[in-house]
Amino acid sequence: MITVARIRGVNPIVALPFTPQGDVDFTSFHRLLAHLSGIGVNGLTLFGIASEFPKLDDNERQQLAEVFVAELADKGIFRALSITDHSTEVAVRRARRYQSMGADALMLLPPFFLQPSLAAVQAHIAAVLEAVTIPVMVQYAPGETGFPVTPAQLAEVAKRYPHAVFKIECNPPVNYTCEFLQQAPDAHVLNGYAGLYMLQMLESGGKGVMPGCSFSEIYVQIYRHWLVGEHQQATQLHETLLPYIQSWMQHCEYIIQVEKTILQRRGIITADYCRKPGWSLTQEDITTIDRFISQFSLSVCTG
């Protein structure tokens, strides 16, 4: 069984390939998983925000989860599936199902639709954590959910549930994380938000980053530099990446579309279609993407 200590390093959120008609492209999904599992990531997570989870139906989600768990079974990386249901009862059932399917970890997006009370959200988080024994990455994304939680409130979860991991992606996250870790020093923290604050979070006690998946090789390089004490090289590479991700993170749908287009232009997925409503890229965006692929020498599949 995967332990909390194994939930570290570079753990991308997997994009969902669609055909130009908007159907799930399982051929591209297989190809994407094969690519990601071979570039040095520590884990992969499916059904995050970057997976366009609100745009999937239940049958698609179940099929994709089964493929994801089976395809990555012997790849030496942890496989996490995200629980995004706003009903506590449904979230608990799905968490148990994913654990029984063989998922190594879960990610939990707490409910925010119709602004539930803090007590209701805390009960939801507790119910999912108590339903499973595998690590659960509790996601704190107030920019996307509009739901603030204080470091002290999050620390209470850490103290009560040793198999909880915390994906902190408020903007900025560093001061929040430092205050959280002061109150829960044994807590295990990851950072999302495209890795904008990746190095600051690692220096503050974070264990890894959960970015998108279209240029994960760059995050792997940064993390490896940091691990062996090559902090100058890590900083230089991160600072070269930063202007791109700062621009693309202006809106979630924007960076989701950018990541899809990068994957398509690299030949990893066939089409860069995002289910609607989505974001339309300009010709300037396309030019920037091509420059980005060239600048970072990202491999392009031609076969």
What's the rounded Cα separation, in Å, for the pair 277 and 193?
21
Residue 172 in this model has a pLDDT that exceeds 60: yes
Nearest of 43, 118, 120, 47 to residue 83 by alpha carbon:
47
Residues 81-106 have a mean pLDDT of 98
Distance, C-alpha 137 to centroid of its chain: 10
Residues 241-252 have a mean pLDDT of 96
Helix spans in the chain (H): 26-36, 58-71, 88-101, 118-131, 142-145, 151-160, 174-183, 198-203, 216-227, 231-248, 252-265, 283-295
pTM here?
Answer: 0.95
pLDDT value, residue 1:
79
pLDDT value, residue 160:
96
Residues 6+ apart with CB under 8 A from 40: 10, 217, 220, 224
pLDDT value, residue 146:
76
Whether 50 contacts 169, CB under 8 Å: no
What's the rounded Cα separation, in Å, for the pair 18 and 196?
27
pLDDT value, residue 302:
53
pLDDT value, residue 143:
77
Dihedral pair phi/psi, residue 209, rounded to 5°: -135, 145
